[in-house]
Amino acid sequence: MQYEVRYKPAFSAIFITLDPGDTIVAEAGAMVSMDAQLSMKTSFSGGFFSALLKKFFGGETLFVNTFTNQTRKPLSLVLTQSVIGDIEGIELRGTSMCFQPGAYIASSPSVHLGVQWAGFSSFIAGEGLFKLKLSGRGTVFFGAYGGLTKKRISGEFVVDTSHLVAYEPGIQMSIKLAGGLIGSVTSGEGLVNRLTGNGNIYLQSRSIDGLAKFLRSKF
């Protein structure tokens, strides 16, 4: 499989070439276009019970689509996300990565789609009881609203709840008030993620929640 992310950073899309026998798994609704000879099969995301957890407690879709090239020639597939923003492709080499609801786009079939408990504080913050956890070996594509920034943290780091896209599962996440009760309300920051540990995180430069609040104030 070869791929290129085009139209970065605002209108990113993944242009994929699947060689004979290649397969890729994608979130339902991610396909923009494909060669007619590609085979597409729809199934539960990570199995029935895992799909239910991701749907009702993690904000993900129930189904994924599996695209397979069963011909003897390379075929093309274009995938994207529903929001305006950047897309990144990373390689898992026997490692794992956790994603916020809606960030996952596609992955190699060798990558396992599971869930990781996020805690009740995450649910209260509107981010679900579970996070999507991808493990194994292969390529993973995920997206952001706005630009994407990769950051290595060591110790404690504070991120607004709506700007964290992905993080390594060894990083502990807790939802806290940005300051005191009054300060958190008057500053407009509210709840934040306090991340503790060592590893990589990905941040998005814009917030869907922030956009929704802005639009509500205009109507």
Q: Which pLDDT score is estimated for 131?
A: 80
Quote the pLDDT of residue 72. 97
What is the number of structural domains in the chain?
1
Residue 206 belongs to what domain range? 2-216
pTM: 0.85
User: What's the 3-state SS for the chain?
Assistant: CEEEEECCCCECEEEEEECCCCEEEEECCCEEEECCCCEEEEEECCCHHHHHHHHHHHCCCCEEEEEECCCCCCEEEEECCCCCECEEEEEEEEEEEEECCCCEEEECCCEEEEEEECCHHHHHCCCCCEEEEEEEEEEEEEECCECEEEEEEEEEEEEECCCEEEECCCCEEEEEECCCHHHHHHHCCCEEEEEEEEEEEEEECCCHHHHHHHHHCCC
Q: Domain of 75: which CATH number?
A: 3.60.160.10
Predicted pLDDT of residue 122: 59
pLDDT of residue 95: 96
Predicted local confidence at residue 56, as pLDDT: 52
pLDDT in tens, 162-177: 899 999 999 988 888 7
Low-confidence residues of the chain: pLDDT under 70: 45-61, 117-130, 178-190
